[in-house]
Amino acid sequence: MKKVLFILTLFSAGILFAQQPYKRTLKLMGNRFEITVVGKDQVEADEYIDLAVNEITRIEKLISSWDLNSQTSLINSNAGLQPVKVDAELFNLIQRGIGISKLTDGAFDISYASMDKVWKFDGSMKKMPSVDSIKASVEKIGFQNIELNKEQQTVFLKLPGMKIGFGAIGKGYAADKAKELLISKGVKAGIINASGDMNTWGKQPNGEDWKVAITNPMNKNKVFALLPITNGAVVTSGDYEKYVRIDDVRYAHIIDPRSGYPAKGIISVTVFAPKAELADALATSIFVMGKEVGLNRIEQLPNVECIIIDDKGNIITSKNIEIEKS
């Protein structure tokens, strides 16, 4: 999933504060992370950022499907064979993933990783995949076929060839955990930007809320809204940087795991939620559910808001969103 990168605005108005924001940019989990902490000096900030990096690296080792020694890989390699005992942290993450899969009626599905990639968005695809290949691509997908045993703390994928993956929630979860750790260590304010999955806490040194500028999907060089974030997460998913055009029809890279076909009708979704893990999953799901169903589902969730931009450029917001034009 291509994530829109946010522009962070730090307003200091020329005033020197005892506490200052310190930022480090690096590559983690195969993505660009920006970790910002508010601290008294660079030495203190570096110590805190190192803690966050170590936590994100720990989580990557736990959930990676590329690492053959990870518990996630062990679950996948035993699909259709036997249950696998896992750490409580991974068990709970999978349980929440199944919960979101149910909430979205499978628009998000934690077992999407078994999807054969019949759609290619690297410029090599010149014709439509066959109907049979698309149908076959989703045969192993179905969160209903994940069996959890809470007492034994085991995970079993019932179908041979079935796989779980955390591509849609992994970065968000890592950002949540890094934030949680830094708060426990006494860091009063900061931002974890996991390739567009934004997680904030506290306020800027001048007492103002952190703010994000949301990119205009019709013109990536402009922003259409500037919004404050208070101790929460915001994730934007866009389909306008990764797509294929066949016979003058544009197909975006966000695939409906239930049908195997690309989602249509929406070009950008921004979700505000208490946790980046949840915001991450919902942003993808709304593309698949469509704007009416997606908006209705969001408005049933406490402390969750969204901004949807459809393929005609219309802006649809949930009831508690007020857009400050930039």
pLDDT tens track for 219-275: 767 777 778 888 899 998 887 767 888 888 888 888 999 999 999 999 999 999 999
Q: Is 313 contained in some domain? A: yes
Average pLDDT over residues 85-114: 95
Q: Are residues 184 and 251 in the same domain?
A: yes
Q: Are residues 177 and 250 in the same domain?
A: yes
pLDDT band at 15 (very low <50, low <70, confident <90, very high): very low
With the C-alpha atoms ordered 171, 63, 273, 22, is the resulting torsion angle positive or negative?
negative
Q: Are residues 28 and 125 in the same domain?
A: no
At residue 120, the pLDDT reads: 86
Average pLDDT over residues 133-146: 93
Q: What distance in Å separates the CA atoms of residue 180 and residue 276, rounded to the nearest whole number?
A: 12
At residue 12, the pLDDT reads: 41
Which of 130-139, 204-213, 260-269 is least confident? 204-213
Q: What distance in Å separates the CA atoms of residue 174 and residue 64, rounded to the nearest whole number?
A: 12
Q: Are residues 21 and 126 in the same domain?
A: no
Q: Are residues 150 and 179 in the same domain?
A: no
Q: How many domains does the chain have?
A: 2
Q: Are residues 207 and 270 in the same domain?
A: yes
Has residue 325 got a pLDDT over 60? no
pLDDT averaged over every residue in the chain: 88
Q: Is 109 contained in some domain? A: yes
Q: Are residues 113 and 30 in the same domain?
A: no
Q: Is 302 contained in some domain? A: yes
Question: pTM of the full predicted structure?
Answer: 0.87
∠ CA(94), CA(96), CA(97), 5° rounding? 60
pLDDT in tens, 26-83: 999 988 999 999 999 999 999 999 999 999 999 999 999 888 889 999 999 999 999 9
At residue 323, the pLDDT reads: 66
Q: Is 325 contained in some domain? A: no
Q: Are residues 189 and 293 in the same domain?
A: yes
**CATH code for position 20:** 3.10.520.10
pLDDT band at 87 (very low <50, low <70, confident <90, very high): very high
Q: 307 has which bridge partners?
A: 270, 317
pLDDT band at 324 (very low <50, low <70, confident <90, very high): low
At residue 19, the pLDDT reads: 84
Torsion angles phi and psi, residue 44, rounded to 5: -60, -45
Rg (CA), the chain: 20
Average pLDDT over residues 179-196: 94
Kindly give the interhelix angle for 42-63 and 88-103, rounded to the nearest 10 degrees. 80
Has residue 16 got a pLDDT over 70? no
Which of 18-22, 39-43, 176-180 is least confident? 18-22
Q: Is 326 contained in some domain? A: no
At residue 252, the pLDDT reads: 85
Q: Is 258 contained in some domain? A: yes
Q: Is 201 contained in some domain? A: yes
Which of 18-22, 41-45, 148-152, 236-240 is least confident? 236-240
Q: Are residues 139 and 281 in the same domain?
A: no
At residue 132, the pLDDT reads: 93
Grouping H, G, I as helix, E, B as strand and the rest as coil, residue 174 is helix
Q: Are residues 219 and 307 in the same domain?
A: yes
Q: Are residues 304 and 179 in the same domain?
A: yes
Average pLDDT over residues 5-16: 44
Q: What distance in Å separates the CA atoms of residue 142 and residue 114, rounded to the nearest whole number?
A: 10
Cα 178 to the center of its chain, rounded Å: 15
Among 126, 157, 188, which residue terminates a domain? 157
Q: Is 229 contained in some domain? A: yes
- Both structure tokens of 231: 């101790």
Q: Which domain holds residue 145?
A: 71-157
